[in-house]
Each structure stands twice: as structure tokens, then as C-alpha cells.
Amino acid sequence: MTENTYYIEKLKQLIEEKSIEAGRRLTACTVTFGCQMNARDSEKLTGILRESGFELTESENADFVIFNTCTVRDNADQRTFGHLGRISHLKKKNPLMKVAVCGCMMQEKGNVEKIKKSYPFVDLVFGTHNLYRFAEYLWEVYSTDQKVREIWDKTDSIVEDLPIERKYPFKSGINIMFGCDNFCSYCIVPYVRGRERSREPGEIIRETEALARDGVSEVMLLGQNVNSYGKGLEDPISFAELLDEVCKVDGIRRVRFMTPHPKDLSYDLIRAVRDNPKAARHIHLPLQSGSDRILKRMNRHYTKERFIELAQKIREEIPDVSITTDIIVGFPGETPEDVDDTIDVIERVGFDNAYTFIYSKRRGTPAAAMEDQVPADVVKAGFDRVLAAVQKSARERAQLLQGRVMEALVEEVNAQKEGYVTGRLSTNMVVHVPGDASMIGSYVPVLLEECRGFYYFGKIV
């Protein structure tokens, strides 16, 4: 019996006793902010809650609520504090309620102190490095009725075989590594997620095979920089080699990955995507800025022209690929001329879409201490220009698919248009087609009829 199993079994007995006392089964809710890594962590948290005997719910008016936080941008912090402010009123009405906060935001000492001072009703606080001890902390909170706060500065551990409650029965994320060694000057991730740690490839393949047996047909390989996968292993293996192996798993039909770093995206990886029909025709390639001067200040380790050459090589080798990106506007010292350089890259690469952000100062990062912070009105003007260029590029790229028949994985019933379902192409393009819930999880050939800029309406053929 593992330590986790031991605490889950003890907790299960305790939650059953408390449910009997309450005259109903205790409920639990997991609220997730942030990236796919956080979403996967939340599936582990929810799996532990389910195994411990809680009835799962999506309502924050539950007996146990845990917030899995993000701290990449300031508005992510503010969203968490807003939720905590609202939930304090619910806790006053429900004496059984307990509240936990975990994740990246808790790796910043200032946020932990703010929780203690401004939200003293929070029962449990822990960070990213000790998530696997959630069952133990939960047991301590419920068995002693005392508050637990434990933050680790780092860890070298990777704990396998935690219970998981997947959000989707037909697709799943798979963590292949944790942490990041890149230390981009604007980014808090290496400080809150720690240094890079790769999982053993055998564990990743075993997890993929188990998911396939459980009905999963699409997996997404997750890491802060998947290109760095395997470097610290006793028997190093490249990410391209891992992708090849995952694509061989019977039952898996589509393999995605997130996120590669442009500085070390290899030709081997381009080849692996090109030569594997199961590899999704979508590569997310974060640009951040098109200005060499700003890229150097960001500590990104590539130039504008190197990025463009890489994108062009990807398109040359994989003609049907979609390339999406991340762009930050308003980084310290950025001028309108630097924004011009970013727009030039957008136009020359022809991104299929982009996540465009206004720079957010993160305490503890080198960029936060830079003196030449950009005035808000200048940032907004630059952001509007970049957003317009991205939208133009996305529309032009999307229109190239008009009239084509492509395979879509049906993911959900369309909430806005009755009688329709929503699917996703290998390129990550969303398409809405007539259908019903019985189609969810199936792959269907779709004629792309009507382009709406960022998505399509079509019909099954």
C-alpha cells in the first residue's frame, strides 16, 4: 500500500462518518485557473476527492472547495481573491464547509501571507511541489479540524499512479515533464514550478496504454517546454523519439503536445509530426515578440529571423500544419517600432491564431525590476495593432480550408445553437455541425462550409 493509498483509505472512512452525521454525502468542487498543466493537476486532485468518498459537483456551494491557482498574470491572482471573497459568505452558512487553495499562486510568499491575513477561513494551503500529498493534508484537516499550510520551495520527486478524474472520457492530458529551466525574464513559472524533471518514458507509455484501454483516443503531451524532455533521465531520450513511441500505442488516434520552445525545436520533431499520421497538424510556437532587442531582454535565445526561418521550415515540411503562437505586448522598453517588428512576423509567418497578452509585471522576475515600464496608453495602442494583425492573419488562414473535408473529433453539444455539436480538427480549428450528444467522442468527416473567421460551420459527409 502506497502512502497515498493509506491516507485515502483513512480519509474515506472519516468522510463516510461525517456524511452519516450530516444525513447526506459530503460534496466537493475543484475550481481550476490557468494552463493545461493546471487542468491535469486538478484531475488528480478531483480523483483523490472521489476516491476519498466525496460526491463531486461543479458548484462552489460545496462542503469542500479547492482552488487550483495560476499566477502567470496579475488578473489570475485577482480572480482567485475574488472567488475567495464570494466563498467566505457561503462558508458562514455551511458549518461543514472547508476551503483549500493550492497551485502556482501559493508558491509566492506574498500571496500565502495575504491568504493568512485577509482570508483566514481558508483551511488548507499548499503549492505545486507537494500536490501529491493532498490526501495526507486533507486527512489532517478533517481529523484534527486544524488549518494546514505547507509550501515547499522545491522538489526532485515525481509521484506516479495518483487517482485521476478525467474531465473528458475520450481525451486526456499526459504530463511528460514538470518545471522549466528557461528563465524568460517576464515569467514566474520556473520559480513556482521548479526546475525541469522528466518522467520515465516507460511510465508515459504505460499511462498512454491505460488511457487507450479506458476509451481515450486523443492525448496531449504536456510540459512547460516539451523540447527539453528527457535530458535529465539516466537513459536520455528526445521528445521526438517519445512522440514516435506514443503514436505507436494502439487505440490512440490523435496526439497533441504543448508547449515547445522555438530556441530548441528540432528538425527531428518536425519530422516526427510530418511522418506520424496520428500527430496533430498543429504546432504552438510562442513568439512573444518580433523585436530582436526585446527578445534579448526577454531572454528568449532566438532572433526574429531565426523564428521566421523555423516557422517557414515547419510549413515547408508539413504543408497542412497550423501554427499558433503567444505574443506579449508592452514588455518594458518596448517602442512602437518594436511592435512593428512583431506585426512583421505575424504577416510573414501567417499565424493561424494567437494568444495575445498585455505584459503583466510579476513580482520576483527580472522584468518586474526593469525601470522602463511602458505607459498603459502606449501599451493599449500597440496591443490593438497586434490584435488586428492577428485577427487578419487568422481569418486568411481559416479561409484556406473552405470547401475541404476534414476529420473532426466531436467534443461537446453546442451550447449556443440547438441541434449542433462542436468538434475540433487536427489543426485545432473548431467546427460546429448538426448532431446530438450520442456523437461525442467520435471522429466524423466534415465538409467545411462557412468560415466565421476563427471557426467553421459545416456538415458531416
Q: Beta strand pairing status for 254-258 and 27-32? A: unpaired
Query: What is the rounded distance in angstroms from the CA atom of residue 151 to the CA atom of residue 420?
Result: 46
The radius of gyration of the chain from alpha carbons, rounded to an integer in Å, stands at 23
Q: How many other CB atoms are found less than 10 A from the CB of residue 233?
A: 14
Residue 215 — very low, low, confident or very high, per pLDDT cuts 50/70/90?
very high
Does residue 76 or residue 398 have the better pLDDT? Answer: 398
Q: Are 204 and 248 in contact (CB under 8 A)?
A: no
pLDDT tens digits, residue range 266-279?
Answer: 999 999 999 999 99
Query: What is the rounded distance in angstroms from the CA atom of residue 352 to the CA atom of residue 390?
Result: 8
**Same fold for the pair 3-150 and 171-399:** no
CA 390 to chain centre: 22
Determine what percent of the chain is predicted with pLDDT higher than 90. 85
Query: What is the rounded distance in angstroms from the CA atom of residue 158 to the CA atom of residue 408?
Result: 34
Element (H, E) at 421: strand 420-425
Q: Are 362 and 408 in contact (CB under 8 A)?
A: no
Q: Please say if the pLDDT value at position 106 is more than 90.
A: yes
Q: How much is the pLDDT for 195? A: 86
Which three cell numbers, joined as nine digits, stand for 368?
Answer: 518586474
CA 20 to chain centre: 37
Q: How much is the pLDDT for 182? A: 92
Q: Which CATH number fits domain 171-399: 3.40.50.450, 3.80.30.20, 3.40.50.620, 1.10.1040.10?
A: 3.80.30.20
What's the average model confidence in pLDDT over 313-339?
A: 97
Does residue 291 or residue 191 have the better pLDDT? Answer: 291
Contacts with 112 (C-beta within 8 Å, 6 or more apart), sequence order: 106, 125, 149, 151
CA atoms within 13 A on the CB side of 155: 18
Give domain 405-460's CATH architecture: Beta Barrel (2.40)
What's the average model confidence in pLDDT over 129-140?
A: 93
Q: Beta strand pairing status for 55-56 and 27-32? A: parallel
User: Which amino acid would we find at residue 100?
Assistant: A
**Nearest by Cα to 96 from 40, 38, 155, 19:** 19
* pTM score of the predicted model: 0.86
Query: What is the rounded distance in angstroms from the CA atom of residue 404 to the CA atom of residue 382?
Result: 35
Q: What is the CATH number of domain 3-150?
A: 3.40.50.12160
Residue ranges per structural domain of the chain: 3-150, 171-399, 405-460
Does residue 190 or residue 20 have the better pLDDT? Answer: 20
Task: Provide DSSP, 140-184.
Answer: HHHHH---EEE--S-------------S-SSEEEEE-EE------
Q: How much is the pLDDT for 5? A: 87
Contacts with 335 (C-beta within 8 Å, 6 or more apart), sequence order: none
Q: How much is the pLDDT for 31? A: 96
Query: What is the rounded distance in angstroms from the CA atom of residue 275 to the CA atom of residue 120?
Result: 55
Query: What is the rounded distance in angstroms from the CA atom of residue 255 to the CA atom of residue 140?
Result: 39
DSSP state, 286?
Answer: -
Query: What is the rounded distance in angstroms from the CA atom of residue 131 to the CA atom of residue 23?
Result: 31
pLDDT tens digits, residue range 61-104?
Answer: 999 999 999 988 778 888 899 999 999 999 999 999 999 999 99
